[in-house]
Amino acid sequence: MKIGIYAVGRLKAGPEKELASRYLDRFSKAGPACGLEFSRSAELNESRAGNADTRKREEAAELSRVIPDGALLVVLDERGKAMDSAEFARFIGDNRDNGQRDMAFVIGGADGIDPDLRDRARLVLNLGKLTWPHQVVRILIAEQLYRAVTILTGHPYHRV
Protein backbone atom coordinates (compact mmCIF):
# COMPACT_ATOMS: atom_id res chain seq x y z
CA MET A 1 0.00 0.00 0.00
CA LYS A 2 1.29 3.44 -0.90
CA ILE A 3 1.16 6.10 1.79
CA GLY A 4 1.43 9.83 1.17
CA ILE A 5 1.31 13.01 3.22
CA TYR A 6 -0.59 15.94 1.71
CA ALA A 7 -0.22 19.24 3.53
CA VAL A 8 -1.23 22.84 3.11
CA GLY A 9 1.83 24.96 3.73
CA ARG A 10 5.51 24.34 3.23
CA LEU A 11 8.22 23.23 5.63
CA LYS A 12 11.17 25.59 5.43
CA ALA A 13 14.71 24.31 5.70
CA GLY A 14 15.61 23.70 9.31
CA PRO A 15 15.37 21.20 12.14
CA GLU A 16 11.66 20.45 11.66
CA LYS A 17 12.13 19.55 8.00
CA GLU A 18 15.25 17.50 8.80
CA LEU A 19 13.50 15.51 11.53
CA ALA A 20 10.38 14.83 9.43
CA SER A 21 12.64 13.74 6.55
CA ARG A 22 14.61 11.44 8.85
CA TYR A 23 11.46 9.56 9.93
CA LEU A 24 10.09 9.41 6.38
CA ASP A 25 13.43 8.01 5.20
CA ARG A 26 13.27 5.35 7.92
CA PHE A 27 9.70 4.56 6.90
CA SER A 28 10.72 4.33 3.23
CA LYS A 29 13.47 1.86 4.06
CA ALA A 30 11.53 -0.30 6.53
CA GLY A 31 8.06 -0.17 4.96
CA PRO A 32 8.52 -2.48 1.97
CA ALA A 33 9.20 -5.41 4.32
CA CYS A 34 5.56 -5.22 5.41
CA GLY A 35 3.96 -4.06 2.17
CA LEU A 36 4.04 -0.31 2.81
CA GLU A 37 5.63 2.23 0.51
CA PHE A 38 6.04 5.96 1.02
CA SER A 39 4.70 7.51 -2.17
CA ARG A 40 5.14 11.23 -1.65
CA SER A 41 4.93 14.30 0.48
CA ALA A 42 2.98 17.04 -1.27
CA GLU A 43 3.05 20.59 0.00
CA LEU A 44 0.43 23.01 -1.29
CA ASN A 45 0.31 26.77 -1.06
CA GLU A 46 -2.06 28.29 1.45
CA SER A 47 -5.06 30.04 -0.05
CA ARG A 48 -4.95 33.82 -0.03
CA ALA A 49 -8.75 34.21 0.04
CA GLY A 50 -10.21 36.88 2.27
CA ASN A 51 -12.14 34.64 4.67
CA ALA A 52 -11.52 31.34 6.42
CA ASP A 53 -14.37 29.37 4.82
CA THR A 54 -13.22 30.28 1.32
CA ARG A 55 -9.59 29.52 2.20
CA LYS A 56 -10.56 26.07 3.52
CA ARG A 57 -12.70 25.36 0.45
CA GLU A 58 -9.92 26.39 -1.96
CA GLU A 59 -7.32 24.37 -0.05
CA ALA A 60 -9.60 21.32 -0.02
CA ALA A 61 -10.03 21.60 -3.79
CA GLU A 62 -6.25 21.65 -4.27
CA LEU A 63 -5.77 18.72 -1.89
CA SER A 64 -8.45 16.74 -3.72
CA ARG A 65 -6.70 17.44 -7.01
CA VAL A 66 -3.36 15.92 -5.89
CA ILE A 67 -4.57 13.00 -3.75
CA PRO A 68 -4.73 9.76 -5.78
CA ASP A 69 -8.18 8.62 -6.86
CA GLY A 70 -9.53 5.95 -4.52
CA ALA A 71 -7.08 6.80 -1.74
CA LEU A 72 -8.30 6.21 1.79
CA LEU A 73 -8.31 9.64 3.45
CA VAL A 74 -6.99 10.15 6.96
CA VAL A 75 -7.55 13.75 7.99
CA LEU A 76 -5.57 15.12 10.91
CA ASP A 77 -7.90 17.27 12.95
CA GLU A 78 -8.13 18.13 16.63
CA ARG A 79 -11.77 16.97 16.68
CA GLY A 80 -10.83 13.51 15.45
CA LYS A 81 -10.39 10.16 17.11
CA ALA A 82 -7.46 9.57 19.44
CA MET A 83 -5.55 6.31 18.94
CA ASP A 84 -2.53 4.80 20.57
CA SER A 85 0.35 3.69 18.36
CA ALA A 86 -0.69 0.02 18.33
CA GLU A 87 -4.24 0.94 17.18
CA PHE A 88 -2.80 3.21 14.52
CA ALA A 89 -0.52 0.43 13.24
CA ARG A 90 -3.48 -1.98 13.21
CA PHE A 91 -5.55 0.51 11.22
CA ILE A 92 -2.81 0.78 8.60
CA GLY A 93 -2.17 -2.97 8.56
CA ASP A 94 -5.86 -3.85 8.29
CA ASN A 95 -6.36 -1.52 5.34
CA ARG A 96 -3.25 -2.87 3.65
CA ASP A 97 -4.50 -6.44 4.21
CA ASN A 98 -7.92 -5.54 2.79
CA GLY A 99 -6.34 -4.46 -0.49
CA GLN A 100 -6.32 -0.70 -0.08
CA ARG A 101 -3.88 0.66 -2.67
CA ASP A 102 -3.36 4.22 -1.40
CA MET A 103 -3.68 6.00 1.93
CA ALA A 104 -3.46 9.79 2.14
CA PHE A 105 -2.71 11.65 5.37
CA VAL A 106 -4.10 15.17 5.05
CA ILE A 107 -2.90 18.19 7.03
CA GLY A 108 -4.99 21.30 6.49
CA GLY A 109 -4.00 24.93 6.54
CA ALA A 110 -3.98 27.33 9.45
CA ASP A 111 -7.79 27.60 9.35
CA GLY A 112 -8.28 23.83 9.44
CA ILE A 113 -9.94 21.40 7.06
CA ASP A 114 -12.99 22.10 4.93
CA PRO A 115 -15.94 20.14 6.40
CA ASP A 116 -16.72 18.46 3.05
CA LEU A 117 -13.18 17.05 2.82
CA ARG A 118 -13.27 15.97 6.48
CA ASP A 119 -16.59 14.20 5.85
CA ARG A 120 -14.98 12.17 3.03
CA ALA A 121 -12.30 10.83 5.37
CA ARG A 122 -12.37 7.22 6.51
CA LEU A 123 -10.59 8.36 9.66
CA VAL A 124 -10.36 11.76 11.30
CA LEU A 125 -7.40 11.47 13.63
CA ASN A 126 -6.23 13.75 16.38
CA LEU A 127 -2.69 13.73 17.71
CA GLY A 128 -3.75 14.76 21.20
CA LYS A 129 -5.89 17.47 22.70
CA LEU A 130 -3.18 20.09 22.40
CA THR A 131 -2.95 22.32 19.34
CA TRP A 132 0.23 21.66 17.36
CA PRO A 133 1.98 23.86 14.79
CA HIS A 134 1.78 22.32 11.33
CA GLN A 135 5.55 21.78 11.27
CA VAL A 136 5.31 19.64 14.39
CA VAL A 137 2.32 17.72 13.02
CA ARG A 138 4.46 16.67 10.06
CA ILE A 139 7.12 15.34 12.42
CA LEU A 140 4.55 13.55 14.57
CA ILE A 141 2.81 11.79 11.67
CA ALA A 142 6.14 10.87 10.06
CA GLU A 143 7.33 9.33 13.31
CA GLN A 144 4.06 7.46 13.84
CA LEU A 145 4.21 6.04 10.31
CA TYR A 146 7.70 4.74 11.02
CA ARG A 147 6.55 3.44 14.41
CA ALA A 148 3.61 1.66 12.73
CA VAL A 149 6.03 -0.18 10.44
CA THR A 150 8.13 -1.25 13.40
CA ILE A 151 5.02 -2.51 15.21
CA LEU A 152 3.82 -4.39 12.13
CA THR A 153 7.23 -6.02 11.63
CA GLY A 154 7.93 -6.76 15.31
CA HIS A 155 10.94 -4.45 15.46
CA PRO A 156 11.88 -3.41 19.03
CA TYR A 157 11.68 0.38 18.33
CA HIS A 158 8.20 0.47 19.87
CA ARG A 159 8.25 -0.44 23.52
CA VAL A 160 5.10 -0.81 25.55
Q: Which residues are annotated as a binding site for S-adenosyl-L-methionine?
A: 76, 108, 127-132
Binding-site residues from annotation:
76, 108, 127-132
Ranges of beta strands (E only) in the chain are: 2-8, 37-44, 72-81, 102-107, 123-125
Contacts of 61 (CB under 8 A, 6+ apart): none
Q: Which amino acid is at 4?
A: G
CB atoms within 10 A of CB 32: 11
- CB within 8 Å of 67: residues ≥ 6 apart: 4, 6, 73, 104, 106
What is the distance in angstroms between the CA of the first residue and the CA of the last residue of the chain?
Answer: 26
Looking at the DSSP assignment, which residues form a beta bridge with residue 81? Answer: 125
Among 133, 149, 142, residue whose Cα is nearest residue 20: 142
